[in-house]
Amino acid sequence: MVKESLSLNSRITILVVAFLGWFFGGMQIGMTNLINDATKYLIHESGWSDNLNPEQLKDLISEWWAYQQCAFLFGAAAGGYIFGKLGDRIGRTRALGISILWFSTLTVLAFFVKDPLQLLCIRFLACLGIGGCWPNGVSLVSEAWSKIARPVMASLIGMAGNIGIFTFATMMAKNPADAESFRGVFLTGAYSVPLGLIILLFVRESPTWIASKNQSSEEETEKLVSPSVFKKPYLGVTLIGIILATVPLLGGWGCFAWIIPWASEVGSPELKAQILQTRSIASIIGSGLAAIIALKIGRRSCYFVSCLFALIISQYIFWFASPTDSNFLIFVALWGFFNGIFFGWLPFFLPELFETKVRATGAGVSFNYGRILTAATIFLTPWLKAMFDGDHAQVGQITSLIFILGMIAVILAPDTSKRDMNK
């Protein structure tokens, strides 16, 4: 069977909608700090704080902060699997459009929540769509563009997420939400509704997926279009993909989860915002250049080098630097750059690990299951702080060692540079 080819206009359209889809997904990720603040407001609004002393209130807020973090991480992980499976079953375009409409609508519904539990449930459900947006977008782009152009185009998707995070943070910096206005921010979810509808109504399906689906009868498709990526022959690459995605996710947490409170303790009130902004801008640049670097030195070498430099820089920061140093933000920028490379690299490498009938599922599982491990680690935060007597630098020294695992895993990963995405 001859696979239908896409016109240049169709390929550009696919790139644009996938970019915008993950841009809005990035805005949703950037909403995490707002969710934490909203939880504090809702604890008071709902009367949960009544009859609590200051210490008890502090513990309650901290407990629900962890719950909200896990709602995002577990929700995105589950969504990566569910919507990835859906993309392999009904098509990338339809699954992408549905996932965008899903998180958009549920974010708007958060306007009506009355207590932290309701917000937790809404956020978990919304994050299913966030998790599903990424694998279908990157699979669609990977199948639409040629082997030469694919890394560059796919890396733009990773860049889109970082731009979305930065955009939302900038919006909040200029118009900070308070106890009176935080609900209105959830209405920004409506911004992405038109995009979801446009994708469903007008964007063409991947010819590669169509050709794969048509190879089987309807009965066979039910069995073969989306088999389990946790069974042979996919189990090995799935585990490698999960590790490769987990390292930057967990490494990002393992570094910045300790830099921020460390800076807040010893630096000025403005330093936290400066660190976040510096990291975001550097990450955007890194994710945008990821494909160029990978094409220059090789896919696996790009990841290995990024792990190496992320490890060196983070160890230097926690061993020898201080947030009060005049050059501290330079090291933050360097770390953000190499961390950003990961998220420009993953969108083209993970889809290349899997064949067409499991591509969205495999990429979604790989990218989002790292969030489960990160979520589990969040609950270790009190234990780690207690072990090191609240010394954030010492905790960072240990947690940033995760990049060593990434260097080992990428050596074991297959060479995908010549992978035929039509199979």
In this predicted model, what pLDDT tens digit does every residue of 191-219 receive, in sequence order? 999 999 999 999 999 888 988 877 654 44
289: Cβ contacts below 8 Å, ≥ 6 apart: 341, 344
Report the CATH number of the 235-353+380-414 domain.
1.20.1250.20
Residue 251: per-residue pLDDT: 87
Dihedral over Cα of 53, 57, 59, 63: its sign: positive
Model confidence at 225, pLDDT cuts 50, 70, 90, reads very low
- Tens digits of per-residue pLDDT, 353-362? 998 889 999 9
Q: How would you write 180-237 as a 3-class SS string? A: CCHHHHHHHHHHHHHHHHHHHHHCCCCHHHHHHHHCCCHHHHHHHCCCCCCCCCCHHH
3-state secondary structure of 133: helix
C-alpha–C-alpha distance, residues 356 and 423, integer Å: 6
Omega of the bond prior to 176 within 30 degrees of 0, cis?
Answer: no
Distance CA(28)–CA(127), nearest Å, equals: 8
Look at residue 21 and tell me whether its pLDDT is greater than 80.
yes
Distance CA 344, CA 337 (A): 11
Q: Is the pLDDT assigned to residue 57 strictly greater than 70?
A: yes
Q: Output helix, strand, coil percentages for the chain, rounded to the nearest 5.
A: 80, 0, 20
Do residues 80 and 131 touch, judged by C-beta distance below 8 A? yes
Question: Is a pLDDT exceeding 80 seen at residue 273?
Answer: no
How many Å apart are CA 88 and CA 3, to the nearest integer?
17
Per-residue pLDDT at 61: 87
Q: Mean of the pLDDT values across residues 340-365?
A: 92
pLDDT of amino acid 157: 92
End-to-end CA distance of the chain: 12
Angle at 67 between CA 346 and CA 368, to 5 degrees: 15
Over residues 125-141, mean pLDDT: 94
- pLDDT mean over 296-321: 95
Res. 347: pLDDT tops 70: yes
pLDDT at 216: 52
Q: Class assignment of domain 1-226?
A: mainly alpha
Q: Where are the domains of the chain?
A: 1-226, 235-353+380-414
**Pair of tokens at residue 212:** 């794969």
- pLDDT tens, residue by residue, 386-423: 777 777 788 888 888 999 999 999 999 999 888 777 77
